[in-house]
Structure 1
């Protein structure tokens, strides 16, 4: 860098400070989503005062928030009235096919926890988990599971299209959450029987979505904790989407060995996740996501392909092929030995 070039210096400083101010647009968007602002403005135009009355907020503060949302491209303003931009109407209004508001609520929860990153770095310990019976925690769990539905609605189709499902009759989706992938599997092949395996507080959400699509004859649920409980047997394919990053290496091997017992001969293990290079420094999203796991799990991280090969070797699986989906994920297909 030429330290005598003031333009270059200013550009570098702007890059640093812009990154540091990233919390501002994020919190503006997340706050608007929590206040249900985009749903209230769906297909209508309101003044800030009218909107404040509906949200139970201060009129002056609401106008400033809406002005900021206009500057960010989430709202439009005309004749003193605000309305959703095309982007917000499509993606931030509940009921629309590609609604991501549940994901944004989950990001709000994560932001609260990320504020304690310094503490986590000093201690090396994750933040305590909320009490399971706490009402706020129950809502956070539901937001998280529905966020996974938001995230998976596009990649699920890409995953299923990229897989060779010939000969696959029974699938278990371990930690299957809202059943997004199980639904896509049976849409692709109605002869497939899928089982969504997840915790007792999660399975009812999956069942809601399965019933809504009238897929009860194709998709069943099984309550359990994959750390402790039996998965069953007789599966042709086991699917893990965004699960292994929550686990330590030995925990991952233990799960793979349990899956090995659950699969038929030559059954397939399909792992979708965020992976880093050998140095752990790229892609940037996966390297940053490892910090999210540091904050929220005991031993989780983003793994490298070398670590995946090692885990497969130690659990009697063979890597067959892999492919990318979305902007950040890779799908690895391994075969049972």
Structure 2
């Protein structure tokens, strides 16, 4: 079967902008600017804001605007590609965020499906068409993570996103070999962003365009080197992936499975383990965060298990 041409060339290793939260629960915007500069210097393929780890669900609209302006101004000056997340569970607030992101001219804008009550497929199509009108020609990326109220199959995603040409990419969870076959059959025209720690597998299957990457939370520069390696030595990249997954399974996932910490808490823990910038582990109230002492303990473990990642960011 001939593969369809993708709607947009967006691809690669995208680093998440994480919010440095002060002890008084405010966003430390000086540290946020420093973080953007560090990610630019790491020469990642792009930087994105307001994913789950960016705590899009727990900020005011004034803070949202300041976060996006901080990202956009620094990225434009450095010619660094950036994506803005307009995500918000309320569809009207989300459209307002999207509208205010348009003048900043990101490469794309990420949205979710409104999330208090799950949408039917026709409702989802209506929402994406309205979002496309508001985006005024800027491409959209649909974020459909495992914790969404409705996790769509590849066929359902094709039904929902196919009629909306502004949707050029989808951030989603992957699956087994059958899932990858379904994705190839239904979603070849979209840039698919799989979980960062599965990027080599997604590349091997010819499905993944890239990742909005949790591995980049651990080490932006290391994740970029690993992503670049996939183009020349997929075998070695897959071996590194097996060690990344083992580290996640044994040392990171238990914080969620056994202690109830959120995915955002895990991503901030990874950043603190990597110790590459002024992020810290603190989440905004009322969400619990992992004590930074755990990051200190796990840093030596990561350096031993994943030297390719942990040594390349310095």
TM-score range, shorter chain: under 0.3
TM-score (structure 2 length as normaliser)? 0.28
Bigger RCO (CA 8 Å, 6+ sep): 2
TM-score (structure 1 length as normaliser)? 0.26
Larger Rg: 1
